[in-house]
Amino acid sequence: MTARQRARAELTAEIKAAARDQLAAHGAAGLSLRAVARELGMVSSAIYRYFPSRDDLLTALIIDAYDALGAAAEASASTGDDHLGRWMTLGRTIRTWAVEHPHEYALLYGSPVPGYRAPQDTVPPATRVTAVMAAMASDAAAAGRLAAPAAAPTMTPGLAADTRRIAELLMHGLDEAAVARCLIAWTGLFGTISFELFGHLTNVVTDHADLFDHALRELAAHLGLRPAT
């Protein structure tokens, strides 16, 4: 690796770091190449040696954020038989990352950036955190622990087909109803975090971590996860 390559890698990282600061200050729509360049003491046109356009920089930030969240989830994940514990850990890890990186969380799970269309490159990184959930669910199903609740609503044929496809893709061993329960638990998990970070729980609940933990537990019960024996 030549000095030039090293310098290039370092500056690319610095540009992204400065862009993340921008994101926090002015949101995704206000991300400005000139401001990034200014923060680094460069001339604005120099950024174009590293990113061909503003949107490409934004894409890089999105990919990095998904990768950071995915890496955090993977790092905290275990493979044991304590599926409830794995669910709780995953949920808490996601929330902690979100609370620590609210603007990146908003970039991923908030309103889409108007005029920006995410390229396909963002899909694999986006899948990482979901895969951790899916692995837990598959293991739980294999251990016979994703018990159906008393009265599961019937499914439309379309939804049944969708859930079957999802099961084949990344949740092996789950039946349609169990996949649907996973989807609901998943949207419930992110819904709670979004409500917290986007200000809809202000003046409603004081200790957000407590509510989140409570919600996680109830969502786990809904999933059919019971404490390990």
Which residues of this chain interact with a second copy, rule CB under 8 A? 25-30, 106-107, 109-115, 118, 149-153, 155-156, 158-159, 161-162, 166, 180-181, 183-184, 187-192, 194-195, 198-200, 204-207, 210-211, 213-215, 217-219, 221-222
117 binds DNA (CB under 7 A): no
**Closest separation between CB of residue 131 and a second copy, Å?**
13
Q: How many CA atoms lie within 13 A of 189 on its CB side?
A: 26
CA 107 to chain centre: 10
114 binds DNA (CB under 7 A): no
Interacting partner of 35 out of a second copy, DNA, none (Cβ under 5 to 8 A depending on kind): DNA
Q: Which residues lie closer than 8 Å to 73 by C-beta, 6 or more apart?
A: 90, 93, 94, 128, 129, 132
Interacting partner of 43 out of a second copy, DNA, none (Cβ under 5 to 8 A depending on kind): DNA
Binding segment toward DNA, per CB under 7 A, in 34-42, 80-88, 117-125, 164-172: 34-42
Report CA Rg, the chain: 20
Choose between 52 and 149: whose C-beta lies nearer to DNA.
52
Rounded Cα–Cα distance for residues 129 and 200 (Å): 24
Interacting partner of 111 out of DNA, a second copy, none (Cβ under 5 to 8 A depending on kind): a second copy
For residue 221 the two structure tokens come to: 């019960």
Choose between 13 and 161: whose C-beta lies nearer to a second copy.
161
E strand or H helix that includes residue 6: helix 3-26
Choose between 26 and 200: whose C-beta lies nearer to DNA.
26
For residue 184 the two structure tokens come to: 């609901």
54 binds DNA (CB under 7 A): yes
Rounded Cα–Cα distance for residues 134 and 124 (Å): 14
Interacting partner of 3 out of DNA, a second copy, none (Cβ under 5 to 8 A depending on kind): DNA
24 binds DNA (CB under 7 A): no
E strand or H helix that includes residue 140: helix 123-142
Rounded Cα–Cα distance for residues 180 and 155 (Å): 9
